[in-house]
Amino acid sequence: MEQQQRGARSGLRRIDRTASRVGIALCWSHAIAIALTAAEAMVRTATSWWVISWALTAALFVIWVPLRATQKGLLRRVAGSEGKEPDPCSPEEPPHYDRAA
């Protein structure tokens, strides 16, 4: 069981890092897509660079969604296997200081 927990933790770290990097790339791609679309609308050029940036945004989104779902599943599995309480920021479970004595 200890090996499963270690494997889940290392998998969580790897998924966490990957999901974070893809999420950052997704945000930047989306911002660039919006800026290029706005610039094209104002200048009215014949180039269509904004199409590439929107395609990249869509591709990154398709990659990020399963990574995030896997990340959340691993977080729940690690928290459940350690016998810890759920995330204190979770709306289902109030934090310790919010409970009555």
What pLDDT sits at residue 67? 93
What pLDDT sits at residue 7? 58
Confidence of residue 1 (pLDDT cuts 50, 70, 90): very low
**How is the chain split into domains, by residue range?**
7-45, 47-82
- Is the pTM higher than 0.85? The answer reads no
HSE of 73, CA atoms in CB hemisphere, 13 A: 8
Task: Give dist(CA 37, CA 50) in Å, integer.
Answer: 5
Of 92, 90, 30, the C-alpha closest to 61 is 30
The total number of residues written for the chain in this structure: 101
Calculate the average pLDDT of the chain.
79
